């Protein structure tokens, strides 16, 4: 059903069984796939292509111009995949250059006020909790959870199956499978629950834990760490981390450290908690 109060460009391409609420605005050249739902007051701007079965919340703006003081037309595009939910007031901006595209994959859930800036590339099955903000050119893998109020600096990368605590402020890359504490914005262990829920075996997790210890506890130089990862983990469950850290340009987020509360990782037979604190003697 299309509301008679919606404003739709004649050049827009609208799929079948699309619901468009009152006071929506759909600009020139927009493409919207089948079975999408656009809540009242949502705006889909030129340069946007949206796949099937997406839900766009009230007052969301998809395809806004990049927030960059030197940006000049012609701008790039926005491509949204299938089965995404973008709740109220979400914003997704076009790429700066005509040849580039801001991409949101499939099955993502963006909660209220989530913001994806120009030139971001977002994978699948991610959750961006309220007020999450991704700066320009951020890359996000799949199955990542962002706690409320998380902010990611431009050009940072977030590996798959990472989990960020609320109000994390990210200024370097976060390797796959890691958990970030929102208070310190540092690594505090592996996202063990996420790994198990995504089918990683106990043997896989044991190998990933060994790689974690090498990465954060070995005391080796960065060059030595990279050499060891390429030698020991070029294939198998850690290969994704090996490739990720080999390509980092900003460096990776460090582990949280406290002389009073050092952290250890739980073994495979321990409880569902990812980490515990070992209190200093005395």
Active-site positions?
A: 118-119, 136
Q: How many CB atoms lie within 10 A of CB 245?
A: 20
Euclidean distance between CA atoms 251 and 105, whole angstroms: 25
Sign of the torsion angle spanned by Cα atoms 70, 139, 87, 1: positive
Q: How many CB atoms lie within 10 A of CB 230?
A: 12
CA distances for 101 relative to 35, 40, 167, angstroms: 23, 26, 27
* Burial class of 141 by CB neighbour count within 10 A (0 to 12, 13 to 18, 19+): buried
């Amino acid at each position: 059903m299309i509301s008679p109060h919606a404003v739709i460009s004649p050049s827009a391409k609208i799929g079948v069984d699309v619901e468009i609420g009152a006071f929506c605005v759909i600009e020139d050249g927009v493409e919207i796939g089948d079975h999408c739902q656009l809540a009242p007051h949502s705006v889909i701007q030129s340069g946007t292509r949206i796949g099937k079965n997406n839900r766009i919340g009230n007052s969301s703006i998809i395809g806004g111009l990049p927030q960059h003081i030197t940006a000049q037309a012609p701008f790039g595009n926005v491509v949204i995949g299938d089965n995404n939910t973008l709740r109220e007031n979400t914003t997704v901006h076009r790429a700066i250059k005509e040849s580039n595209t801001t991409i949101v994959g499939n099955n993502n859930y963006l909660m209220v006020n989530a913001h994806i800036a120009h030139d971001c590339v977002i994978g699948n099955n991610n959750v961006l909790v309220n007020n999450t903000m991704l700066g320009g050119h951020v890359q996000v893998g799949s199955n990542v959870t962002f706690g409320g109020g998380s902010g990611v600096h431009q050009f940072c990368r977030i590996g798959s199956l990472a989990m960020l605590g609320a109000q994390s402020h990210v200024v370097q890359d976060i390797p796959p499978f890691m958990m970030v504490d929102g208070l310190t914005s540092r690594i505090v262990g592996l996202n063990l629950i996420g790994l198990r829920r995504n089918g990683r075996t106990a043997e896989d997790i044991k190998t990933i834990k060994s790689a974690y210890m090498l990465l954060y506890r070995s005391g080796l130089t960065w060059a030595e760490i990279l050499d060891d990862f390429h030698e020991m983990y070029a294939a198998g469950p850690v290969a994704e981390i090996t490739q990720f850290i080999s390509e980092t340009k900003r460096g990776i987020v460090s582990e949280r450290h406290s002389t009073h509360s050092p952290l250890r990782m739980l073994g495979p037979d321990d409880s569902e908690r990812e980490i515990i604190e070992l209190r200093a003697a005395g």
